[in-house]
DNA sequence: ATGAAAGCGCTAACAG
DNA sequence: CTGTTAGCGCTTTCAT
């Protein structure tokens, strides 16, 4: 703030060397520089409190060593996990991560993408909530390196890391069936995304397998599509509560409930308790995602684990591979869920 | 990737104008440019798929319009809230936020600070976990704009936004006393930070006020100082469980427990339940922080709310003020906690 | 209203 | 081993 920032020219002058030499020393170049000079330059740089200006370097080298990540919400522990995985890999490759929250807003998402590109990131990892088709086409044509996670993007040039939601919810539903349940409700946010639709499909798959279909229509409770822009955990939670309230108006109640995520399951359990219904004694509940919350609930939540951290690691590894030019041609990887049986499901006789 | 990126020179050539004019149009400069030319330049820019290179602009203008934020962990919902507040203010002022997780690691913290400065951020918002005194002195001397949040930094030149932890835990403890409790335990992570120490002091304050001090030593359960570097919510949760287990070995049990945060309280309640103790029937529990989890627990957690979002907003507003030169001389602001009474505390007769 | 040219801080040929 | 120099993409005097 006070005075002009120090540059390599200042240092060069101070040690009677050329800026080139100073640059070579301070940027850890391979280029040979005599030991004494090197020492001296380093010493003086430290003494003068030199801080390199990366803008200069990056502009010159045309390489920012950074990648962008756009996710709907960092408040969602699900994404927090994914981001941790991304950062680990990025860091170990010397890359920096620029993180953006789209807040479930497609316009913000697009704006952030643009901003990141202007900042010259080398690639993007994106969990897109945009429903607009083909909005990425222009960028892709220009050679943008992009990895899509969780939410599928319908463009066959995009690398995708997905979870097998369909298999996951089938797993959950089958577990319930094995425990003797036949009346299984489905509580979820609106099926306005492929991931959620697949959740529904998996549920139906398991039901069909067991000859339990069709089920009462009222046992499928979905919230309205309008996604809250001030999205937070409480939103999902309250959703679970509200839909449970609706469900409990039926005369014929289910013995078990499948939910679209753990946060919703938490709401379901909470409402059930408030209405005097014991979990799992009277109603069993299974969650989805296996976020840390699920172990903290009472009863501990039976849920489906998604390898979130692994997704982050994979996405970033893939991106690193792309940037290094070792492009394998596998465009899609599908991560498998596993069932985590805890205490929110009762065995029915 | 494919071809060379497009610059204003390419556009200039294409429309038969000078780069200067193109720059003026595309950077929304005040400078007058004829309407037709302006139109044409914009059209061609879009057509050619031009993406401005901010490195060039920022280097020239010596202004990145970005600030850095360093927090211990984005997985902690507490900080997620703070960050949301920061981002809101930053965005509305046209600033970008560069977010870094120090993972409770002082070395990483220092490294990120350096990286951010090399990226030419205009200021830093920091929740420091470093115990080293004076490590910021050098930066401050060079005029670094820095706001410290939550954790206090012992340098009177640093702007600080804090919570009144001491008053907060006194609030919690007094609430318990008002409900008739006299045997009140304290379960917390190690008191190795001023914030946690203040928590303890507030607890003692309230006890003393009520003539309840000194209390049995065994009712104060603290975990070891070694902070897990793979810090996550489960760590706090398990801490709560472990310390509760220790506490329950006593013959004379407390009727209420105060905790250092909601995550720990969740662990306490969970362990209590597992040991067959009803909350709040047999033991009352109060949390701290009021993260969203606290409403989701059964029973809903009585806790102390900290205005986290507000802290983020304030910190960023302060930084913006500094950057604009409207430096008020108020260096410290202390945010006040409030008690949120829910269902985890019973009235004792 | 438009353009020529210098230069932000740094690196990388190229020359010595 | 060291230095000179051009220029990354952009903005901004200063001319015209």
Query: A299 preceded by cis ω (within 30°)?
Result: yes
B266 in reach of chain A (CB within 8 A): yes
Query: B332: which DSSP letter?
Result: E
Query: Which residue pairs, CB below 8 angstroms and at least 24 apart, start in A10-13?
Result: A10/A48, A10/A50, A11/A41, A11/A44, A11/A45, A11/A48, A11/A50
Name the band, by pLDDT with cuts 50, 70 and 90, for residue B337. very high
pLDDT for residue A279 is more than 60: yes
pLDDT for residue B2 is more than 50: no
Q: Where are the domains of chain B?
A: 8-52, 64-164+309-336, 165-306
First to last CA, chain B: 74
A154 in reach of chain B (CB within 8 A): no
pLDDT digits (tens, 9 = 90+) for A137-179: 889 888 899 999 999 888 888 999 999 999 999 999 999 999 9
Share of chain A above pLDDT 90, in %: 81
Chain D nucleotides with an atom closer than 7 Å to a protein C-beta? 1-5, 7-13
To the nearest whole Å, the CA of A194 is away from the closest chain B CA by 26
**Domain boundaries A64-164+309-336, corresponding CATH code:** 3.40.50.2300
pLDDT digits (tens, 9 = 90+) for B248-290: 999 899 999 999 999 999 999 999 999 999 999 999 999 999 9
B298 CB-to-strand D distance under 7 Å: no
Interchain pair B81, A101: CB under 8 A:
no
Q: Assess contact for B161 and B335: CB atoms under 8 A.
A: yes
User: Quick one: pLDDT at residue B161?
Assistant: 97
Name the band, by pLDDT with cuts 50, 70 and 90, for residue B225. confident
pLDDT digits (tens, 9 = 90+) for A194-205: 999 999 999 999
User: Quick one: pLDDT at residue B134?
Assistant: 83
User: Quick one: pLDDT at residue B107?
Assistant: 94
Question: Which member of A51, A80, A237 has the closest CB to residue B118?
Answer: A51
DSSP structure string for A16-63: T--HHHHHHHHTT-SS---HHHHHHHHHHHHHHT----HHHHHHHHT-
Interchain pair A298, B273: CB under 8 A:
yes
User: Quick one: pLDDT at residue A2?
Assistant: 46
B104 CB-to-strand D distance under 7 Å: no
On the question of a common fold for B64-164+309-336 and B165-306, the answer reads yes
Q: Architecture of A165-306 per CATH?
A: 3-Layer(aba) Sandwich (3.40)
B23 CB-to-strand D distance under 7 Å: yes
**Strands annotated E in chain B:** 66-71, 96-101, 124-126, 146-149, 159-163, 184-188, 220-222, 256-259, 284-286, 303-305, 332-335, 338-340
pLDDT for residue A58 is more than 80: yes
**Strands annotated E in B34-140:** 66-71, 96-101, 124-126
């Amino acid at each position: 703030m006070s005075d002009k920032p120090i540059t390599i020219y200042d240092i060069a002058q101070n040690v009677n060397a050329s800026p080139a030499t100073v640059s070579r020393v301070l940027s850890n170049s391979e280029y040979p520089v005599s030991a004494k000079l090197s020492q001296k330059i380093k010493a003086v740089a430290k003494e003068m409190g030199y801080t390199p200006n990366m803008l200069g370097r990056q502009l010159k080298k045309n390489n920012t060593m950074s990648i962008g990540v756009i996710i709907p919400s960092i408040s969602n522990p699900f994404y927090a996990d994914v981001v941790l995985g991304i950062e680990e890999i990025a860091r170990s490759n010397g890359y920096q991560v620029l993180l953006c929250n789209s807040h479930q807003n497609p316009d913000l998402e697009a704006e952030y993408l643009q901003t990141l590109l202007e900042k010259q990131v080398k690639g993007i990892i994106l969990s897109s909530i945009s429903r607009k088709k083909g909005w990425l086409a222009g960028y892709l044509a220009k050679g943008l390196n992009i990895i899509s996670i969780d939410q599928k993007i319908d463009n066959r040039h995009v690398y995708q890391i997905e979870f097998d939601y369909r298999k996951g919810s089938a797993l959950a539903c089958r577990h319930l069936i094995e425990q003797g349940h036949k009346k299984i409700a489905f509580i979820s946010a609106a099926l306005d995304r492929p991931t959620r639709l697949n959740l529904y499909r998996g549920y139906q798959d398991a039901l069909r397998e067991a000859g339990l279909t069709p089920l009462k229509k009222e046992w499928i409770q979905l919230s309205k599509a309008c996604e809250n822009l001030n999205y937070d955990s409480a939103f999902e939670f309250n959703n679970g509560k509200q839909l449970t309230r609706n469900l409990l108006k039926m005369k014929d109640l289910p013995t078990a409930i499948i939910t679209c995520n753990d946060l919703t399951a938490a709401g379901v359990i909470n409402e059930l308790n408030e209405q005097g219904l014991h979990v799992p004694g009277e109603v069993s509940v299974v969650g989805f995602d296996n976020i840390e919350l699920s172990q903290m609930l009472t009863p501990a939540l039976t849920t489906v684990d998604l390898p979130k951290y692994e997704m982050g690691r994979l996405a970033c590894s893939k991106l690193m591979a792309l940037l290094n030019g070792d492009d394998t041609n596998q465009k899609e990887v599908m991560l498998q869920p596993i069932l985590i049986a805890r205490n929110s499901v009762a065995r029915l006789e």
